[in-house]
Structure 1
Amino acid sequence: MPTIRNVRACQPVDQNSPDDWRTSIGQILVAIDTDNGLTGFGVGGGGRAGLHVIDTVLKDLLIGRPVETVEDHWKNLSNAILPFGPEGIATMALSGLDLALWDIRGKLANQPIATLLNSEVNLAQPIPIYQTVWENVPEDVAQGNCSVKLHLGESTSKGLSTSKLVDQLVKKVERAREAIGPNRKLMVDAWMKWDLETTLRFAAQAEPYRLEWIEEPLPLNDRDGYATLSRECPIPIAGGEHVFTANQFQSIIEHRLQTILQPDVCWVGGLTELVKIYEMAKQPGFRVIPHRGAELWSLHAIAALSEQPLAESGRPWMSWVGGQPKVTQGTIQLLKRPGLGVDIDESLFSAKTTIQL
């Protein structure tokens, strides 16, 4: 069994990277090198803090160890971050390491990760995607044929009455439905900016537009509010991109706080945790639709484990991740490449535009 020789990490910054937390905290690149010449790549999060966690706590738990069962490494790494919290930046950093280990696992087997997850997976089967847009549907998206998620930015803190705010929100949904037509799927994302009253009023008024789900309408810690929505809201509630580890998803499932589960594989703890979440969600009434699922980091799990595959558009500013399949007529299809199938330019780990370990 090959041994881990080195662990490297950096924070690539593309010229089109957004000037906010999505760049400064949301992404890091990880490489794990073995003594037989293989390198596995993963993307995690945590920014400079994530790099620090890897450098000072996690990498020494891997270097010199055999590339054994990935799940065993996950347990050791997870135990190491318990003293300073298994939620947030530390788990985001761990996610990149876990994905890199899975990449090595696939390369050792000379198989795509999707095939390792499900030997009967059909890699030639196109996976439908949905495009996330902000406020309005751009003309090119309106003329396409993919599903659309409308990111609604209005907050209950704007000072508008609930009635006026809901009217504005529903008007945008109406315009979006008109733009994409009656047959394409439409969803909305509130990004934790609404309250319970706003959400229920919005759901009642927006029901004629046949929304697939309302995503993260309430702050994450408003469990009572989500419990009320699960009982009273006529539109399914989605969420989970800011939830860490499968254990937290277990609580969401047990209390049916959300039925559309959207873990982000680059933040939740990696592919090891995403596989657990798929297993937890096999009971009736739940569906796993990973955040940014069209990226290769999640796409293998979607192809292998989803009964109704659907992938969200990825981060367009991460052009430094090569090997990403093209979207064609509203679908994406995995290529038959070993591991995760990503191509990474090694110069990123020494480039001046990156922050390194």
Structure 2
Amino acid sequence: MKITDVRAIQPVGKNSPPDWRTSLGQILVAIDTDTGLTGYGVGGGGLAGIHVVKTVLRDLLLGQSPEDISRLWDEMYQSTLAFGRKGLAIMAISGVDLALWDLKGKAEKVPVVSLLGGQPGQLLPTYCTVWNTRDLKSIDSHAGYKLHLGKVSNAGQQDEMIQAIETARTLIGPDPLLMVDAWMKWTVESTIAISRAIEPFQIDWIEEPLSPDDLAGYAQLSEQSAVPIAGGEHEFTAAAFTQLIDQKLHTVLQPDVCWCGGLTELIKIYKMANRVGLRVCPHRGAEIWALHAIAALDPHPLAETGRPWMTWVAGQSEIDGGLISVTDRPGWGLTFDEQSLELVY
């Protein structure tokens, strides 16, 4: 089997699906082969990421066998080293890597979860991310909930956030997990203060309170926060996660498989974390790209859901009673009808 074409799109015009997430620079990568099989993956980087795929990665991959994914990943990384290492180049590689794994599963006629040593069909618990406490009154039952909060600019805002977290715990009751997402908008001081105030509410983690570049700040939080710290959503490659793991800067690691380098890197991150007893809970884990890895590699599986995702793609895993399962269809198990989507490459 040889690669005959590598395509990348970001539909941002009149045909753009409503849940395409152009705000996150989401791109779709398709890899065609001489056997008629096409593999699909989602990456990031927007139009700049598409440029990387079309002008660098495509030329590198044409005519090659898609089977040795690890070798191809290393070649893609090396080819983008001068302008990559992190950010949009790795996001572009992520989409290509995921498409290669889709091809591998389709060629072997097995789902990706089986390639990783797992079993399709097992039920995995989910947690739902919400943007205000009102949403907690209307969503279905899940194993846990994560409250997305904003910036702390003054003591008044800090008190409001603490009150919102207490309200969330009251609404969901004592049993479900409860997490808080600060999305890189807090300071070391406000995080420590809030963590101590919300400790009685049984909070499982505070997610990304600081910039991912503030490693010194995270080191301080690892010693002084009263609540476990989660992060890694905006980190790239297993090599970068090595520092987070070695220094134990996060209790929970949250790589995004569509950004961090694809499934190839997520596997490495899982192996490193499992060796030292750190938890991995991938960002957007209920989306199919990470779900197969969670099912196969995670000793304590938990998959994040929230906003609708690519509802126009057939073959999605559906949540029922707070549980989600991985398909037994080959590859990712998704069906892309390119003609009906009217996508332009």
Q: Would the TM-score normalized by the shorter structure come out above 0.5?
A: yes
Q: CA deviation at 1:124?
A: 2.6
Partner of 2:34: 35
**1:147 matches 2:144:** yes
**1:220 matches 2:219:** no
Does the 8 Å contact 1:31/1:39 carry over to 2? yes
Distance 2:267 2:69 in 1: 12
The one-letter amino acid paired with 1:300 is H
Q: 1:187 aligns with which of 153, 161, 179?
A: 179
The one-letter amino acid paired with 1:324 is Q
Does the 8 Å contact 1:71/1:272 carry over to 2? yes
Partner of 2:85: 86
Does the 8 Å contact 2:39/2:101 carry over to 1? yes
Q: CA deviation at 1:12?
A: 3.1
Output one character per residue of 1:191-247: Cα deviation in whole Å (capped at 9) or x when no partner: 000001100010000001101100000111111110011111121100111101111
Give the aligned length.
Answer: 341
Partner of 1:130: 127
The one-letter amino acid paired with 1:131 is C
Please show how residues 271-310 of structure 1 align to structure 2 within 5 Å.
271-310=263-302
Distance 1:219 1:183 in 2: 31
The one-letter amino acid paired with 2:211 is P
Q: CA deviation at 1:340?
A: 1.0
**1:344 matches 2:336:** yes
Distance 1:301 1:212 in 2: 22
Output one character per residue of 1:236-262: Cα deviation in whole Å (capped at 9) or x when no partner: 100111101111100100111112000
**1:240 matches 2:240:** no
Partner of 2:310: 318
Taking every aligned residue pair, what percent have the same amino acid on both sides? 52
The DSSP-based 3-state class of the residue aligned with 1:82 is coil
Please show how residues 64-75 of structure 1 align to structure 2 within 5 Å.
64-75=63-74
Distance 1:171 1:115 in 2: 45
Output one character per residue of 1:260-305: Cα deviation in whole Å (capped at 9) or x when no partner: 0000000001000000000110134411110001011000000000
- Aligned CA distance change for structure 1 residues 298 and 317 (closer, same or farther; 3 Å): closer
Q: TM-score, normalised by structure 1?
A: 0.92
Distance 2:44 2:60 in 1: 19
The one-letter amino acid paired with 1:12 is P
**1:170 matches 2:172:** no
Partner of 2:254: 262
User: Which structure 1 segments of 5+ residues have no match?
Assistant: none
- Aligned CA distance change for structure 1 residues 314 and 46 (closer, same or farther; 3 Å): farther
Does the 8 Å contact 2:19/2:311 carry over to 1? no
Q: CA deviation at 1:318?
A: 2.2
Q: CA deviation at 1:140?
A: 2.0
Distance 1:331 1:31 in 2: 30
- Aligned CA distance change for structure 1 residues 50 and 276 (closer, same or farther; 3 Å): same
User: Which structure 2 segments of 5+ residues have no match?
Assistant: none
The one-letter amino acid paired with 1:102 is W
Does the 8 Å contact 2:42/2:95 carry over to 1? yes
Q: CA deviation at 1:347?
A: 2.4
